[in-house]
């Protein structure tokens, strides 16, 4: 997956402190989407291009998403370099049938 595919499908919301990318629209490819985004973000940081300034970047995914080890490595590297980035999971709401 490339960053253009990511940007086409991820749902982006922003406020003064946070940029959030909801990757749940990727379905069973959420882990791949997170990996691709984090790798691209790290490469952009290393080349000193783009970015969101001091704002926190949050990637939202389902609680069942398998996060690749490479994505965890990209995340650790970004945070070690002071680029505030998090992965947050969302538990799907249960529908009770009465």
Triad 16, 92, 86: Cα angle to 5°: 35
Task: Summarize pLDDT for 46-72 with one digit per residue, the tens.
Answer: 998 877 778 999 999 999 999 999 999
Query: Residue 9 and residue 98: Cα distance in Å, rounded?
Result: 35
Determine the pLDDT at residue 98.
Answer: 52
Give the Cα separation of 5 and 36 in Å (integer).
10
Could you say which DSSP state residue 27 is in? G
20: how many CB neighbours lie within 10 A of its CB? Answer: 18
Domains of the chain, by residue range, sit at: 3-90
At 97 the pLDDT is 55
Q: What is the dotted CATH code of the domain comprising 3-90?
A: 3.30.750
What tens digit of pLDDT does each residue of 11-47 get? Answer: 999 999 999 999 999 999 999 999 999 999 999 999 9
Predicted local confidence at residue 37, as pLDDT: 96
Q: How many CA atoms lie within 13 A of 46 on its CB side?
A: 10
């Amino acid at each position: 997956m490339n960053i253009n595919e990511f940007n086409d499908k991820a749902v982006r919301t922003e406020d003064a402190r946070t940029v959030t990318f909801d990757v749940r629209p990727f379905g069973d490819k959420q882990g791949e989407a997170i990996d691709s985004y984090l790798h691209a973000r790290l490469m952009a940081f290393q080349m000193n291009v783009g970015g969101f300034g001091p704002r926190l970047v949050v990637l939202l995914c389902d609680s069942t998403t398998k996060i690749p080890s490479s994505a965890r490595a990209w995340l650790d590297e970004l945070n070690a370099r002071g680029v505030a980035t998090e992965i947050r999971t969302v538990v799907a709401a249960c529908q009770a049938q009465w």
